[in-house]
A = this chain, B = another copy of it.
Amino acid sequence: MLDRVPMLDGASDTAALMAEIGRNARAAGRPLALASPEAKTLALNAAADALIRNEAAILVANAADMRRAEESGLTSAAMDRLKLTPERIRATAVGVRTVAGLPDPVGKVTESWTRPNGLLIERARTPLGVIGVIYESRPNVTADAGALALKAGNPVVLRGGSDSTLSSAAIHASLLEGLRAANLPEAAIQLVPTPDRAAVGAMLAGLDGNLDVIVPRGGRSLVERVQTEARVPVFAHLEGLCHLYIDRSAKLGMAVEIAVNAKMRRTGICGAAETLLVDRAVADTHLVPVLEALHGAGCAIRATDEVRAFFPLATPATEEDWRTEYLEAIISVKLVDGVSGAIEHIEHYSSHHTEAIVAEDAAAAERFFREVDSAILLHNASTQFADGGEFGFGGEIGIATGRMHARGPVGVEELTSFKYRVRGTGQVRG
């Protein structure tokens, strides 16, 4: 074994640490799965109390992270994501309390039926398994993801960004206070304590079989890496290339309002509209008012020549524009032949995250709902409703564009599996 490359001590330490984290998470699975709804609610409410009580300590930790981030030249957008304020900490505590107040999903019977032989079959929710969350600068993900995983009875392994190490640790300390208050295992919510990137590799490899699903929260390069390298299932979306289609039957006022909201309310979120498709039949009436409103709100317009003939302030769109998630105040615009043309464009270019139709014609909306194959479809509502909180899930651990198990906002119920419970009176099979 002369030519064997010796492992660095650091890497070896991280490997051992991650293996231990995985074993601890798995061991916490059964007590968590059997924890009473009351214990989980108590833990979450106590964690929310601790976040408020520990506000000063969390802010001190965050200030240290911010200083280091500034020195290392973090972008201002990333600095904003990293920054905690008393308001943000209180909002995080409210989020944890909201999750605490959700109905407990474990044991919930989602379907039941009786067979001709008298067997009563129930399908009941169970925890899903050990959840891994890999995130970047937002330290509040620590609390959001920890709370959702706990509510569904799942151990979670959190790996925050190296920029937010101290902030995440301070938030994690409050979660541990909650777990202790409810006598639940502290390994229910583990925060990876090392910035060593080998920790991420260990999670992608599945922690020796002790990690069941990974949720990446962050930019495209993180999600892409996780989707490519993970050896376990991933709940994620690579991008939200969302479309808004304005049908010939749309009310103009509604179309204007929804277009401005879908694009401009927040341009950096995955549910922001990136492409506007307008029915050619209403190019004369609807196109210009909608574009004027967008432009007036500060949005740059990239459009086909046909659209530019109506609205010369638009710059030319290239093929690349139809494939681009801007995440900025830019929108690509095109005329299409009714709902068929919209569906054709969307099925060709969409990332299958979220699409909306504005129409009074119910048949057009139903066709859009039926034929567009995206996680979230909206009729006469803004694409920016693509959010677990807005769906009533009390939060989300992410939004998935995969089709397996979870799709759309991933909330507490998507963090469960199920088992069949069959009640008989002595039946044997013939």
- Within 8 Å of chain B (Cβ to Cβ): is A2? no
Encoded as 1 (CB less than 8 Å from any B CB) or 0, chain A from 401 to 423 comes to 00111011000000001111111
Instruction: Decide yes or no whether A257 CB sits under 8 A from chain B.
Output: yes
Stretch binding the partner chain, chosen from A70-78, A186-194, A304-312, A365-373: A365-373
One of A19-27, A121-129, A334-342 contacting the partner: A121-129
Residues of B within 8 A of A382 (CB): 427-429
Asked whether A119 is an interface residue with its Cβ less than 8 Å from the other chain, the reply is yes
Q: At the interface, yes or no: A333 with Cβ under 8 Å from chain B?
A: no
Which of A143-151, A173-181, A315-323, A385-393 binds B?
A: A385-393
A276 to B143, CA, bound (A): 45
Q: Helix, strand, loop or mixed for chain A's interface?
A: mixed
What separation, in Å, do the CA atoms of A299 and B265 have in the docked complex? Answer: 71
* Number of copies of this kind of chain in the complex: 2
A359-378 to B contact mask, C-beta < 8 Å, 1/0: 00000010001110111111
Interface string of A262-274 (1 = CB under 8 A from B): 1001000000000
- Residue pair A376, B420 in contact (C-beta under 8 Å): yes
Chain B residues contacting A419 (CB-CB under 8 Å) are: 373-377, 407-408
For A408, give its contact among B370, B380, B385, B420 (CB under 8 Å). Answer: B420
Number of interface residues of A (CB under 8 A): 61
Mark out the residues of chain A between 63 and 113 whose CB falls within 8 Å of any chain B CB in the assembled complex.
107, 113
B403, A404: Cβ atoms closer than 8 Å: no
Is the pair A369, B34 in contact by a Cβ cutoff of 8 Å?
A: no
Check A37 for interface membership: any CB of B closer than 8 A: no
A115 CB → nearest B CB, Å: 6
Known A212-B404, A257-B428: A422·B381 in contact at CB below 8 Å? yes
A residues adjacent to B (C-beta < 8 A): 30, 33-34, 107, 113, 115, 119, 121, 124, 126, 128-129, 212-213, 233, 251, 254, 257-258, 260-262, 265, 347, 365, 369-371, 373-382, 384-385, 390-392, 403-405, 407-408, 417-429
